[in-house]
Structure formats: C-alpha cells, structure tokens
Amino acid sequence: MSRIPALGPRGEGWVALQLILLGAIALGGWLFGGMWSGVAQQALVIVGGLLIVGGLAIATLAVTNLGPSLSALPRPTDHAVQISHGVYSQIRHPIYAGLVCAAVGWSLVTASLLGLSLSVALAVVLDLKARREEVWLRERFVGYEAYAERTKKFIPGLY
C-alpha cells in the first residue's frame, strides 16, 4: 500500500494538478515575465529554447514509444503493456521529464521567476505522480520491479 494518495480511481487528481501547474507556468511567463535583460536575457533565451525543444522531443518520443498504452492517467489501462524500449530504456518517465524541461525552458525564455518557481512545483508533483503510478505498474506488470532497478526515473544515470 502506498502512502501517496491515488487522487481518484485512476489518478485523475494528479492529472488535474499537472494541468493547473502547466497553465500557471504558461500564464506566469506571459503575465509576469521580463525579470532580466541584456546579455543574460539573450543567453537564457537560447538555453530556454533548447530546453523547450529537447523536452518536447523527449516527450514526443515517449508518446510514440507508448503507442496504444498511452494514457494521461497514472493507472495503466486494461490493454496497456509494459514499455521498456526506446526512450524508456533510458528513463522510466520521459514524458514527465520532458514536460519539466519544457516548463523550465519556457520560464527562462520569458524571464519568469514565477514560472521557474512553478516549474519546481511541477517537478515535485510529477515525481509524486510517478511514485503513485509505479505502485500501480508494479501491481500490474511482473517485470516492472526489475526494470525500475536498472532504469532511473527522470535523469539517465542520476535520478
């Protein structure tokens, strides 16, 4: 039994939290951006742009790898199969990792300290969502435990 709440039969509350934070990060950049200027701004626009492109690329590869097993909800669907190839051979939650990269990138591009703060909150929520999801994945797939032992959660070789 997990101490992390399910927030709904299939984890609907985790998706709601995720969407609220993503919306707040987007709005935070538009409404409260422009916190730095000059050379720093130019450098952070480049770094942020690379994070956006890289994050969206990772998430897109992950969606492609999941195929019919794709679901926004953390509890796997009845027809889901365990995926451990492609980007999933490097990290267990590439969509979440890609979303956090893109959120941080957006916050840098828009020069939003609020966006950066909310990106940290998004990372925490997605880490908790992943922990809850993994309880269900371990219940559902016999080989998930071994996969989790050899594959990091969000950052290859680190975490």
Mean pLDDT of the chain: 96
pLDDT at 35 over 80: no
- List the domain boundaries for the chain: 12-150
> What's the pLDDT score for residue 54?
98
pTM above 0.75, yes or no: yes
Which fold, 12-150? Four Helix Bundle (Hemerythrin (Met), subunit A) (1.20.120)
The predicted-structure confidence for 52-85, as pLDDT tens digits, reads as follows 999 999 999 999 999 999 999 999 999 999 999 9
> What's the pLDDT score for residue 1?
65
- 8-14, long-range: CB < 8 A, 24+ apart: 9/75, 10/73, 10/74, 10/75, 11/73, 11/74, 11/75, 11/129, 11/132, 11/133, 11/136, 12/73, 14/73, 14/74, 14/125, 14/128, 14/129, 14/132
pLDDT at 129 over 80: yes
